[in-house]
Amino acid sequence: MLSKYVSPGDRIEINEIKKGNTEREGVTRTDRVYQSQVYDVISEDRLEILMPMEKTKLVLLPIDSEYELFFYTQGGLYQCYARITERYKSDNVYLIVMELIGNLSKYQRREFYRLSCAINADIRYLTEQEDGTTGGEDVPYDETVPMEKAIIVDISGGGVRCVGTRKYECGAKVYIKFLLHLQSGAKEYVIPGSILQVGEVESRQGMYEFRVRFENMRIKTREEIIRYIFDEERKYRKRERGE
């Protein structure tokens, strides 16, 4: 299964974890995250990865320690838990061998992790004609219809929370447009959605907070947004550590 989804050269994020004392407490992530790359897939449950580095120093992750891994592959984001079984140098390359604990799975949970932000957006109700379609992003929206300004204050792979001057109706269908600065460059998104919740902003008369759930969006778009969240979260952690 591993070789079907993960290939040499794929970027990998190694998350340090803590195990609870009981099954109910489960597993939690710490703020230690390392970046690396898949070097080779040895078998269906073992792989070699490049030993991670911090600045110019190798990070000697201990043998038998366990981590949560996130793979950035051509087919999307995948997650698993793994244990370090070996650590060595081969042809001047420092490697660690990791053995999977459990199954590799398509990563869904971080779709709903919300990243706090301040992103300019434009939003409007769908027109009657647009509301009668089910094509989502594949149906061009009418650019001649005016849009209203809003600020996205948090974002996830499943939707956004915004602040603006219009009191949208719960359940209403909307288009929201915003720009994200990805590693590959700036990209504009126009995504259909539905209003889940609306409320007045305390101490700010005439301002409303509302949640938008993305609807009928492409898988690629969702994964790009999740990757953006990963990258921004990692930058924040680095700033906190003064790197």
pLDDT for 26-48, tens place per residue? 556 665 778 899 999 999 999 99
Say if residues 215 and 222 touch (Cβ distance below 8 Å): no
Amino acid 69: pLDDT: 92
Amino acid 134: pLDDT: 46
End-to-end Cα separation, the chain, in angstroms = 37
Which amino acid type is present at position 168? Y
Amino acid 21: pLDDT: 45
- Report the Cα 192 to chain-centroid distance in Å: 19
Residue finishing a domain among 107, 124, 149? 107
**Residues in the chain with pLDDT values less than 70:** 19-31, 108-112, 132-140, 240-243
Amino acid 183: pLDDT: 85
Query: In the structure encoding, which two tokens stand for residue 28, read together?
Result: 């939690």
Query: In the structure encoding, which two tokens stand for residue 117, read together?
Result: 């932000």
The answer to whether residues 76 and 176 belong to one domain is no
Residue finishing a domain among 78, 107, 136? 107
Amino acid 62: pLDDT: 93
Does residue 203 sit in helix, strand or coil? coil
Which amino acid type is present at position 88? Y
Query: In the structure encoding, which two tokens stand for residue 87, read together?
Result: 């650590």
Q: What is the per-residue pLDDT across 50-62, written as a single tens digit (0 to 9) for each?
A: 999 877 889 999 9
Number of domains in the chain: 2
In whole angstroms, what is the distance from residue 173 CA to residue 139 CA?
A: 14
Whether pTM exceeds 0.75: no
In whole angstroms, what is the distance from residue 24 CA to residue 2 CA?
A: 28
Query: In the structure encoding, which two tokens stand for residue 85, read together?
Result: 């079984």
Amino acid 204: pLDDT: 83
The answer to whether residues 103 and 116 belong to one domain is no
In whole angstroms, what is the distance from residue 130 CA to residue 143 CA?
A: 12
Structural domain for 210, as ranges = 111-237
The answer to whether residues 48 and 26 belong to one domain is yes
In terms of DSSP bridges, do strands 46-50 and 53-54 run parallel, antiparallel, or are they unpaired?
unpaired
Question: Domain with 128 in it: what CATH number?
Answer: 2.40.10.220
Amino acid 57: pLDDT: 87
Residue finishing a domain among 107, 127, 154? 107
